[in-house]
């Protein structure tokens, strides 16, 4: 993470009183937060980092510049064993502490020694820093093609007889986007009618304006092509269904996925929340794929999308762009192949060689 240059121009007298030491510690945390703001991090991300740092300060019960690797060991063990935090959360907080102390070592090491007499140490090193692979959470291996086809086929057939037809079709379409083009649920919720651009490309494109940005640097936009029958689904939705919710269909800024609730001022539907869309998928899974009840989430469908497209021949770089990943290594963790993948790849490669040789022989 790059940090903006923030320097204190004050002299460095020796600190003596408890209040002076506390004020200096607060200044170090504030300078780290200010540097993050200068680097373009969002206010929410900076606040989350400050919360992690203050929790470490409370745990340490002495100035941050006195922390050692033993303190880092104890703090991470405390998060896992005493507080019961998830592997992913512990990993995230370890990285926050590591970045903070890298900041202090780079900018304030000399000043800290001059004011306190302490030599700064890095409490998060390569021995206690959690590995990303170990702390990546549960493996989200998706259902098989047959299971997914069965679920969505029965869901689609049941729509005309749904007790609440409009929210049922909305939930079905949202889940179809997760399955077919790997949208995140937060990206889906924020889509407006104008974000579907049928005039772009061969299949139309969805303008995802609120994609996940790295390191808290705000939304990352991308254009998602309407491949995998997504274009046909959106045409059906916008032609036959969306206008039945409210009169805001003609407003390009109206939500693509509306709620049943109406705004009292405008009279138009509010935006559906992620809880409503999650609940729609969960109810369908309980009914038509009970073996996956409680396990098939929107994010697992995102994994299914990546795996199914890869199995059909789409290269990893294209899948990376579709899913909006910054790093190709992230995309590879979304690809789940069958046990006979190596044999199939070998057969396909030999078939290509045989074809080339036959063409050359002619």
Q: Is 349 inside any structural domain? A: no
Tell me if 296 sits within 8 A of 288, measured CB to CB.
Answer: no
Q: What is the mean pLDDT of each run of 10 residues along the chain (362 residues)?
A: 50 79 92 88 86 94 94 93 88 92 93 91 87 52 94 97 96 97 95 96 95 72 96 96 87 92 82 94 97 94 95 92 90 75 53 66 62
Note whether 87 and 153 are same-domain residues: no
Domains identified in the chain, total number:
2
> From the candidates 302, 303, 304, 310, which is the catalytic residue?
302
- Strand positions, DSSP E, the chain: 196-197, 205-211, 220-225, 258-262, 269-271
302 in active site = yes
Note whether 319 and 272 are same-domain residues: yes
* Model pLDDT, residue 250: 81
The total number of residues written for the chain in this structure: 362
Note whether 112 and 150 are same-domain residues: no
* Model pLDDT, residue 38: 85
- Residue 119, helix vs strand vs coil: coil
CATH code, domain carrying 102? 1.10.150
> For helices 87-107 and 69-77, what crossing angle results, to 10°?
160
299 in active site = yes
> From the candidates 278, 299, 333, 336, which is the catalytic residue?
299
CB-based contacts of 321, cutoff 8 Å, min separation 6? 222
Structure tokens, 8: 């204190």
Residue-range definition of the domain harbouring residue 87: 18-116
Note whether 97 and 156 are same-domain residues: no
* Model pLDDT, residue 353: 62
Tell me if 159 sits within 8 A of 287, measured CB to CB.
Answer: no
pTM: 0.67
Note whether 71 and 212 are same-domain residues: no
CATH code, domain carrying 162? 1.10.443.10
Q: Which long-range contacts (CB under 8 A, 24 or more apart) does 256-260 make?
A: 256/191, 256/192, 256/193, 256/195, 256/196, 257/170, 257/173, 257/174, 257/188, 257/189, 257/191, 258/170, 260/164, 260/166, 260/167
* Model pLDDT, residue 3: 53
Note whether 102 and 167 are same-domain residues: no
Q: Is 256 inside any structural domain? A: yes
> From the candidates 180, 205, 303, 325, which is the catalytic residue?
325
91 in active site = no
Q: Is 184 inside any structural domain? A: yes
> From the candidates 217, 235, 278, 336, which is the catalytic residue?
217
Note whether 243 and 193 are same-domain residues: yes
184 in active site = yes
> From the candidates 32, 101, 172, 334, which is the catalytic residue?
334
Note whether 40 and 172 are same-domain residues: no
Phi, psi (rounded to 5 degrees) for 254? -70, 150
> From the candidates 184, 205, 242, 303, which is the catalytic residue?
184
């Amino acid at each position: 993470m790059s940090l903006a240059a923030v320097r204190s121009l004050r002299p460095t007298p020796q600190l003596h009183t408890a209040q002076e030491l506390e004020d200096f510690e607060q200044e170090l945390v504030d300078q780290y937060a200010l540097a993050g703001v200068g680097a373009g991090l969002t206010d929410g991300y900076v606040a989350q980092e400050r919360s992690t740092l203050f929790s470490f300060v409370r745990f340490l019960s002495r100035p941050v510049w006195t922390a050692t690797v033993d303190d880092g060991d104890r703090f991470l063990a405390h998060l896992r064993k005493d507080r019961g935090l998830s592997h992913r959360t512990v990993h995230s907080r370890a990285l926050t502490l590591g970045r903070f102390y890298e900041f202090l070592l780079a900018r304030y090491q000399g000043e800290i020694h001059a004011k306190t007499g302490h030599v700064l140490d890095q409490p998060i090193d390569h021995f206690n820093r959690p590995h990303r692979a170990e702390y990546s959470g549960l493996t989200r291996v998706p259902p098989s093609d047959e299971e997914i086809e069965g679920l969505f086929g029965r869901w689609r057939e049941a729509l005309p007889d749904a007790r609440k037809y409009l929210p049922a079709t909305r939930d079905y379409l949202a889940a179809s986007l997760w399955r077919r083009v790997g949208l995140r649920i937060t990206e889906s919720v924020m889509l407006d009618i104008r974000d579907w651009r049928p005039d772009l490309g061969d299949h139309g494109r969805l303008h995802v304006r609120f994609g996940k940005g790295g390191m808290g640097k705000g939304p990352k936009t991308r254009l998602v092509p309407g491949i995998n029958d997504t274009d046909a689904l959106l045409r059906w939705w916008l032609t036959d269904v969306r206008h039945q919710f409210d009169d805001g269909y003609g407003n390009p800024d109206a939500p693509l996925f509306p709620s049943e609730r109406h705004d009292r001022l405008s009279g138009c539907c509010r935006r559906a929340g992620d809880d409503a869309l999650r609940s729609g998928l969960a109810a369908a899974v309980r009914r038509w794929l009970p073996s996956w009840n409680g396990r098939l989430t929107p994010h697992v469908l995102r994994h299914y999308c990546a795996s199914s497209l890869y199995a059909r021949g789409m290269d990893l770089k294209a899948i990376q762009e579709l899913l909006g990943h910054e790093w190709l290594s992230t995309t590879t963790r979304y690809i789940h192949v069958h046990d006979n993948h190596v044999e199939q790849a070998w057969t396909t490669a030999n078939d290509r060689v045989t074809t080339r040789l036959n063409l050359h022989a002619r």
